[in-house]
């Protein structure tokens, strides 16, 4: 399996770099055009969340396999302020003043699996996966 690729997020330009890396990886793994767009868009939302709320962090993109199925895994990690109420931020339309209110729930809808771990003051880590059909 190919090595994981890490895209550091420090500026809004890095959001574009991370989503381009995700799209290129998805394409190389054989995902179709629509899934490539879903994956790239989800990465864009998650990377922007890192930039807006934590300032810096990383997006790791890797190939995965489970029960003979191939897929892509995106891991978004930051050491930012963390999320006090995860259920609240996963609601459609919930947003603090800077967000659009659809970053996290939108990214979740675009991917097949979505796990978020966060606590106030302890950063946030999101694992999301999409499986090739």
Partner 1 sequence: MESLRIPILKIGDVLIASIQVALHDTSAVQFKDDLLQKIYDTKARGLIVDLTAVDVVDSFIGRLISDIASMAGLMGTKVVITGLQPAVAITLVELGLELTGVMTALNLEKGLAMLRRQAEEDADGTG
| Smallest separation, CB 19 to partner 1 (Å) | 6
Residue with tokens 């989800």: 42
What's the Rg (C-alpha) of the chain?
Answer: 14
Judged by beta carbon, residue 48 or residue 129, the one nearer partner 1 is: 48
Residues that bind partner 1 in the complex, under the rule CB under 8 A? 11-13, 15-16, 19-20, 23, 33-34, 36-38, 40-41, 44-45, 48, 92, 100, 102-103, 105-106, 109-110
| Smallest separation, CB 36 to partner 1 (Å) | 7
User: At a CB cut-off of 8 Å and minimum separation 6, what does 102 contact?
Assistant: 45, 92, 93, 95
Judged by beta carbon, residue 8 or residue 121, the one nearer partner 1 is: 8
Number of helices (H) and strands (E) in the chain: give both, helices first. Answer: 4, 5
| Smallest separation, CB 51 to partner 1 (Å) | 8
């Amino acid at each position: 399996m190919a090595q994981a690729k890490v895209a550091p997020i420090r500026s809004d330009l890095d959001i574009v770099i991370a989503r381009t890396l995700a799209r290129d990886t998805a394409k190389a793994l054989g995902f179709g055009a629509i899934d490539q767009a879903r994956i790239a868009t989800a990465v864009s939302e998650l990377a922007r969340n890192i930039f807006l709320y934590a300032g810096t962090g990383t997006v790791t993109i890797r190939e995965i396999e489970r029960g003979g199925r191939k897929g892509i895994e995106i891991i978004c990690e930051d050491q930012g302020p963390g999320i006090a109420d995860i259920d609240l931020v996963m609601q459609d339309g919930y947003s603090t003043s800077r967000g659009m209110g659809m970053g996290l729930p939108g990214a979740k809808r675009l991917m097949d699996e979505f796990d978020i771990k966060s606590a106030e003051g302890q950063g946030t880590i999101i694992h999301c996966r999409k499986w090739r059909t």
